[in-house]
Amino acid sequence: MTILKTFGVIGALGLSVVMTACQKHDAGTENKNQTTPAAESAVKTLTIGFQKSSLNLLIAKQQKIYEQEFPGAKIEWREFPAGPQMLEALAVGAVDFGAVGNTPPIFAQAADKPLSYVGYEVVPADSQAILIPTNSRIQSIADLKGKRIAVQKGSSAHELLAKVLQKAGLSWSDIQPIWLPPADARAAFDKGAIDAWSIWEPYLSTTELKGHAKSLIDGRAFPTTYSFYIGNPRFIQQHPDAAQKVLDGLNKADQWFVQHQDQGLSIYAQSTGLDTQVAKAVLDKRAKPSPIQPINAEVTQAQQQIADLFQQVQLIPKTINVSQTIWTAKP
């Protein structure tokens, strides 16, 4: 209806009037020319997917940053236990933007799920690890052979485990992967039902600080890892300015945290249910500031290398081209 209305206005004005309006500062004509495009792309509802540990989004929610970035829009928040579940919701239009690790978008793209990489953030190298019980007989990554290892399928921990196996000269058939979401994996680890657990923060520090777990190997043994902010391509197409506003809001949240670290710690602890000691251990690993930036060639290549590895070891059914899913701001 808005598009038809726009054509009606243009038809009524006529070419000479439009040209005159471009030169003459007529307030009424300027308002029409300015409000029509805005009306076409105005965001009425913005739905954001987040996890308990998504600090920037937690701050953005608490500080109502997106209410400022999208005035007049209804901002909705949906919590997910991990990235794969969030991307499932994004693929069907139930989420417009969300935060995930590096692996979920690769599995989603391989399954022909629509998505657009909007921005990235560097992940602290020691924020994901392979955990083993403190009394475990496992001494090296080679000892993982034949062991029961819990991991959330399609998560960043899935990719970490793939790299660890490759480094150890092992294949997936050499271990017993136990596909569990973090909460269930934690329970299995505590009961001794699994031998190792590939996991990320805050579950990592929560388990380590309890004193019955230790890290066998963590992300510091590998190249830089990234987390991503993903958008629904259709939503971005309908609202061309939305992706940049989302990035702007994330960086405002990051800047707010740098200036209000005690309050940020409180927000994080409340969301995750962690005690202050554990929450602080997690956030102490975070760079300050930790800027969110548009995807560049280096980050795209890093994602492509993961995708190629996954296809090589048959974790995904086909070759994918990550560059086809990168959002770039229009000049």
Which residue in 131, 327, 138 sits closest to 233, CA to CA?
327
Q: What is the residue-level pLDDT of the chain in tens, covering all 331 positions?
A: 433 333 343 333 333 333 333 333 443 333 333 433 444 478 999 999 998 889 999 999 999 999 999 999 999 999 998 888 999 999 999 999 999 989 999 999 999 999 999 999 999 999 999 999 999 999 999 999 999 999 998 888 998 999 999 999 999 999 999 999 999 999 999 999 999 999 998 899 989 888 789 999 999 999 999 999 999 999 999 999 999 999 999 999 999 999 999 999 999 999 988 999 999 999 999 999 999 999 999 999 999 999 998 999 888 999 999 999 999 987 7
- CATH T-level fold of 45-122+224-325: D-Maltodextrin-Binding Protein; domain 2 (3.40.190)
Burial class (CB in 10 A: 0-12, 13-18, 19+), 10: middle
Asked if 56 and 73 count as a contact pair (C-beta separation under 8 A), the reply is no
pLDDT at position 156 is 84
pTM: 0.80
Task: Give Cα separations from 289 to 58, 121, 127, 258, 326 (angstroms).
Answer: 16, 11, 16, 6, 24
- Is domain 126-221 classified as CATH 3.40.50.20? no
Plot region of 192 (φ>0 → left; ψ -120 to 50 → alpha; else → beta): left
pLDDT at position 291 is 96
Q: How far is CA 219 from the centre of its chain?
A: 18
pLDDT at position 53 is 86
Domain locations in the chain?
A: 2-40, 45-122+224-325, 126-221
Alpha helices in the chain (DSSP H): 2-13, 15-23, 27-41, 55-62, 65-69, 83-91, 104-110, 156-168, 182-191, 203-208, 233-238, 242-259, 261-272, 276-284, 297-312
Give CA–CA dist 174/145, Å, rounded: 5
Structure token pair of residue 303: 């994602």
Give CA–CA dist 130/217, Å, rounded: 6
Cα radius of gyration (the chain): 23
State the number of CA atoms in the 13 A half-sphere of 92 facing the CB: 6
Same fold for the pair 45-122+224-325 and 126-221: yes
Structure token pair of residue 5: 């209305």
State phi, psi for 42 to the nearest 5 degrees.
Answer: -60, 130
Give CA–CA dist 94/47, Å, rounded: 7
Structure token pair of residue 153: 């399928």
pLDDT at position 148 is 98
pLDDT at position 5 is 37
Structure token pair of residue 33: 């020319």
Give CA–CA dist 246/250, Å, rounded: 6
β-strand pairing of 45-50 with 213-218 = unpaired
Give CA–CA dist 243/117, Å, rounded: 10
Asked if 253 and 59 count as a contact pair (C-beta separation under 8 A), the reply is yes
Give 18's contacts (C-beta < 8 A, 6+ positions apart). Answer: 10
